[in-house]
């Protein structure tokens, strides 16, 4: 899943109607509702302020995700739901989108409305910076110096592993962010690479974020 690093916005024009999208990172439903109210107040003269948001739940406690959308007076299913689908397609969470429409006097039809509301969200996403939120481990890999080159080559080849720190002590200790599914293969490969000389300490399962644009 991905989260917004900063608020973002975008604007499109469709048959003289203006669609302005605002994206806001939020951590709970109250923040999302407050943001929607803020945009409605800012654009009190607009015909519609449609919205969609996704708030991550806590699977370990059985709390589900919160997913909401509103057409705010547009024909049912032509605004909020299509906006939500864009957010879901981008794997975004803890995000609220509001699209303000200033009517230009030309009816768009249901298909035109869906495309316009989705287009406005996509326009805002073009300027958005995101972080990938990953469940995994901040693992420590303890490496004898004579195996340093092999491990560095391995880490460079496996882009899903993100090196966070390197300490040169009695052995070299790499601190590496490891997605949960990759822990088993990493541990196996390190054992095979070194005949058991390399030790992997995964620590506790956690959630970490990395720049979504990190290669």
Share of the chain above pLDDT 90, in %: 85
Report pLDDT digits (tens) over 84-140. 999 999 999 999 999 999 999 898 999 999 999 999 999 999 999 999 888 899 999
Report pLDDT digits (tens) over 192-208. 999 999 999 999 998 88
Distance CA 205, CA 165 (A): 18
Report pLDDT digits (tens) over 24-58. 999 999 999 999 999 999 999 999 999 999 998 77
| Closest C-alpha among 181, 163, 182 to residue 172 | 163
Give the predicted TM-score (pTM) of the model: 0.75
CATH 3.40.50.300 is the classification of domain 134-211 = no
DSSP H helical segments within the chain, as ranges? 29-42, 80-89, 109-126, 148-157, 183-194
Return the pLDDT at 190.
Answer: 96
Report pLDDT digits (tens) over 142-155. 999 999 999 999 99
Q: Which CATH architecture has domain 2-128?
A: 2-Layer Sandwich (3.30)
Domain ranges of the chain: 2-128, 134-211
Instruction: Compare 103 and 213 and report the one with higher pLDDT.
Output: 103
Kindly state the DSSP code that residue 5 receives in the 8-state scheme.
Answer: S
CB half-sphere exposure, 69, CA atoms < 13 A: 18
């Amino acid at each position: 899943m991905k989260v917004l690093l900063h608020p973002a916005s975008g604007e499109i024009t469709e048959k003289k109607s203006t669609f302005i999208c605002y994206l806001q990172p939020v951590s709970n439903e109250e923040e999302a509702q407050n943001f929607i109210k803020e945009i409605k107040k800012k654009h009190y003269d607009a015909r519609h302020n449609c919205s969609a948001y996704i708030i991550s739940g806590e699977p370990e406690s059985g709390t589900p995700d919160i997913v909401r959308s509103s057409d705010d007076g547009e024909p049912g299913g032509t605004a909020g739901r299509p906006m939500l689908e864009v957010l879901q397609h981008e794997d975004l969470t803890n995000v609220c989108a509001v699209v303000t429409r200033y009517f230009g006097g030309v009816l768009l039809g249901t298909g035109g409305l869906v495309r316009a509301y989705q287009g406005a969200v996509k326009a805002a996403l073009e300027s958005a910076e995101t972080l990938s939120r990953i469940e995994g481990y901040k693992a420590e890999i303890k490496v004898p110096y004579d195996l340093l080159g092999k491990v560095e080559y391995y880490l460079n080849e496996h882009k899903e592993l993100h090196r966070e720190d390197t300490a040169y002590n009695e052995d070299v200790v790499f601190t590496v962010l490891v997605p949960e599914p990759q822990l088993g293969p990493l541990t196996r490969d390190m054992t095979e690479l070194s005949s058991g000389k390399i030790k992997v300490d995964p620590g506790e399962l956690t959630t970490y974020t990395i720049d979504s644009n990190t290669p």
